[in-house]
Amino acid sequence: MSKFTGANVRDITKIKNSDVFIKVDLTVVGMVSVPQSIIDNGDALPLGTLLSSRDGGLTWTSLTAPIYETGVYVADKEVYHEGHIFKSTVADNSTVPGVGDWDDLGVWDSNGVLYNDLTESKKTTIVVTGSVKEKYLHGSDEFLRTTLFKNKIIAK
């Protein structure tokens, strides 16, 4: 997912809220934790990042585990697959999470979308009901699309 949009080099602009959000029906303000690796790299958690809250919107986290792709994983590597975080239990693990040598660490689903870029952990606006352009979401996959719909966030 690029930080920019545009048909050609002359028309490139930074992605803004109107690129990501079609309609915003309801927002909350909550504490969003920016992963330390993003802070250390001088990057930002970009607007459109999928977030999860387990305490009614007071605190929010982003998906930090990479989405599973077919390959070989080392022991203790964590990945996201079909709504769960899995941890490899063996070296040279080429099995699919949920079937082979993986521990299921629990469910991760999204019930909010970050409304602004965020360079540090702080309170900010999260969209919890509305419609979004799926191509501009960060951390989305087919399973999370269904979860967003269940949580009244429509990805188009």
The CATH number linked to 69 is 2.10.10.20
Q: Are residues 76 and 116 in the same domain?
A: no
Average pLDDT over residues 7-17: 67
Average pLDDT over every residue of 50-70 = 93
* 41: β partners: none
Got the DSSP string for 32-48?
A: EEPPHHHHHTT--B-TT
For the residues 126-153, what does the mean pLDDT come to?
A: 90
* pTM of the entire predicted model: 0.83
Q: How many domains does the chain have?
A: 2
Domain interval for residue 92: 65-107
Both 15 and 55 in one domain: the answer is: yes
pLDDT recorded at residue 11: 55
The Cα–Cα gap between 3 and 126 comes to 19
